[in-house]
């Protein structure tokens, strides 16, 4: 049965007037590379390259006399499968080549700016296209054995400066040039983005940002003091606790300033949006420096996720969907809260007595659950807390929910996983996906965020 909330048909105007501007109070032009929140550090001469394979894996590196340059590196897994292992961007940048060559096989070239490029050859497959912006740790393909220049599965990797291959720098050190396999080994610190989900946390005193490696309770520090964390498909972002300026994480302890303070930010699958401090305009980051475009007028609250960007009317709470710059469509009336999953939108009625799902058509919503306290959405689906005792439930289908755990101080849906912060903030847990069984993955934290 299709159910409409009261007020869905009331008319309202929201989000008008196209313009181009910086967000929202004209921050200084030009991105600054820094650990959050330092705003005046110098731009690094060399990008903070990491091994182009998943965090914590150990690989051997070598070259051979058939290479055009001794600085070209062949990588093979130690104690694990080489073929099919995710190939990751070793630093953030833009894809300038993604194609098949009879000799190099599937290969990708990423431009990192400042004359720096990296090349990845013999891939089993390519997961990015020319023009794609990728951040450090983004999976760009899989290691393979394609092309006539290879006789076994490996990743051929190069770092180039102004067109010339240079000795590779990984995690701040030069990779030794060796002519035989199993003579030099590197362990990957490429933990910027995992291939399934990434979990971030602030230390209890908010003095540092940490990322879970995906192994046991092992974490790495990836940033300094931060005010608030935002994470989603478009990346990981943090505000400066002193002035509210926004920074983007390009890799461990490598952040760039991308804008000034905002009332709030929202991250979608491929975009970042901000609401001006006075709530009068919505801006979208262009992906370049500190330049933002105005894409809408006044809004109350922004909601972002895989299904897109949504905003409430600040006067009556009506909900609108962002279809493009200054193009918004009304979807429904006011709600106590909304949650965005990978492909859908859910809302909690104003009195919190029922959960609804948008049908995708006009302002029609279906009731899919009863009373709830707080909604949590992401790639792993929709979750809701019991308003009486805080127990957490997962939506398996319309009006079909199963309990997955007890109360927590906070939960975050990161990629294909669900994480929770214990009621007293002394531990971080990951839901195993089975019943109410959770795995402890870390100690105390002030907040958690995931993508």
pTM for this prediction: 0.63
Q: Using CA atoms, how far apart are residues 45 and 6, in angstroms rounded to an integer? A: 58
Query: Which backbone phi and psi does 376 adopt, to 5 degrees?
Result: -130, 125
Nearest to 190 by CA among 89, 82, 77: 89
Per-position pLDDT tens, the chain of length 451: 222 222 222 222 222 222 222 222 222 222 222 223 332 333 336 888 999 998 888 899 999 888 999 999 999 999 888 999 999 999 888 999 999 999 999 999 999 888 999 999 999 999 999 988 888 888 899 999 999 989 899 999 999 999 999 999 998 899 998 988 889 999 888 875 444 568 899 999 999 999 887 767 878 888 999 999 998 878 889 999 999 999 998 777 889 999 999 999 999 888 999 999 999 999 999 988 999 999 999 999 999 998 899 999 999 999 999 999 999 999 999 999 999 998 899 999 999 999 999 999 999 999 999 999 999 998 889 999 999 999 999 999 999 999 999 999 999 998 778 999 999 999 999 998 889 999 999 989 999 998 7
Cα–Cα distance measured from residue 333 to residue 347, given in angstroms and rounded to the nearest whole number: 10
Predicted confidence at residue 14, as pLDDT, reads: 25
H helix runs in 12-103, sequence order: none
SS3 category, 285: strand
**Beta-sheet pairing, 155-161 with 73-77:** antiparallel
DSSP letter for each residue of 380-414: TEEEEE-TTT--EEEEEETTEEEEEE---SEEEEE
CA distance 314 to 164: 54
Tell the burial category of 193 from Cβ atoms under 10 Å away from its Cβ (0-12, 13-18, 19+). Answer: buried
Structure tokens at 311: 């905003």
């Amino acid at each position: 049965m299709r159910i409409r909330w009261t007020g869905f048909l009331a008319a309202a105007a929201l989000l008008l007037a196209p313009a181009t501007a910086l967000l929202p109070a004209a921050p200084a032009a030009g991105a600054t590379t820094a650990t959050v929140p330092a705003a005046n550090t110098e731009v690094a001469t060399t990008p903070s390259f990491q091994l182009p394979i998943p965090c914590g894996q150990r690989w051997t590196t070598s070259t051979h006399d058939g290479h055009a340059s001794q600085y070209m590196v062949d990588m093979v897994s130690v104690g694990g499968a080489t073929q099919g292992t995710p190939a990751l961007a070793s630093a953030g940048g833009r894809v300038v080549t993604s194609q098949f060559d009879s000799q190099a096989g599937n290969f990708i070239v990423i431009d990192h700016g400042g004359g720096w490029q990296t090349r990845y050859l013999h891939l089993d497959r390519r997961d990015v296209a020319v023009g794609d912006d990728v951040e450090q740790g983004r999976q760009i393909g899989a290691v393979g054995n394609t092309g006539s220049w290879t006789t076994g599965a490996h990743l051929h990797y190069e770092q180039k400066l102004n067109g010339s291959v240079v000795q590779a720098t990984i995690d701040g050190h030069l990779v030794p040039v060796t002519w035989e396999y199993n003579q030099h080994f590197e362990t990957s610190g490429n933990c910027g983005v995992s291939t399934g989900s990434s979990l971030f946390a602030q230390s209890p005193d908010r003095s540092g940002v940490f990322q879970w490696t995906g192994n046991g309770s092992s974490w790495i520090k990836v940033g300094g003091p931060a005010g608030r964390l935002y994470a989603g498909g478009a990346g990981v972002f943090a505000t400066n606790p002193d002035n509210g300026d926004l920074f983007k994480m390009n890799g461990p302890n490598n952040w760039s300033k991308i804008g000034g303070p905002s009332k709030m930010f929202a991250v979608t699958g491929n975009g970042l949006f901000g609401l001006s401090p006075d709530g009068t305009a919505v801006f979208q980051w262009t992906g370049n420096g500190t330049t933002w475009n105005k894409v809408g007028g006044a809004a109350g609250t922004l909601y972002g996720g895989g299904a897109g960007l949504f905003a409430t009317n600040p006067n009556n709470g009506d909900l609108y969907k962002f279809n493009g710059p200054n193009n918004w469509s009304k979807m429904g009336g006011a709600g106590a809260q909304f949650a965005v999953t990978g492909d859908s939108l859910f809302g909690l009625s104003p009195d919190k007595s029922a959960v609804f799902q948008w049908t995708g058509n006009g302002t029609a919503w279906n009731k899919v659950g009863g009373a709830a306290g707080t909604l949590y959405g992401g790639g792993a689906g929709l979750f809701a807390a019991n308003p009486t005792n805080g127990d957490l439930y997962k939506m398996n289908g319309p009006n079909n929910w199963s309990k997955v755990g007890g109360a927590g101080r906070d939960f975050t849906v990161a990629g294909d996983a669900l994480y929770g912060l214990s009621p007293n903030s002394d531990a971080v847990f990951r839901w195993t996906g089975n019943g109410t069984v959770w795995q402890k993955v870390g100690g105390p934290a002030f907040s958690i965020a995931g993508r």
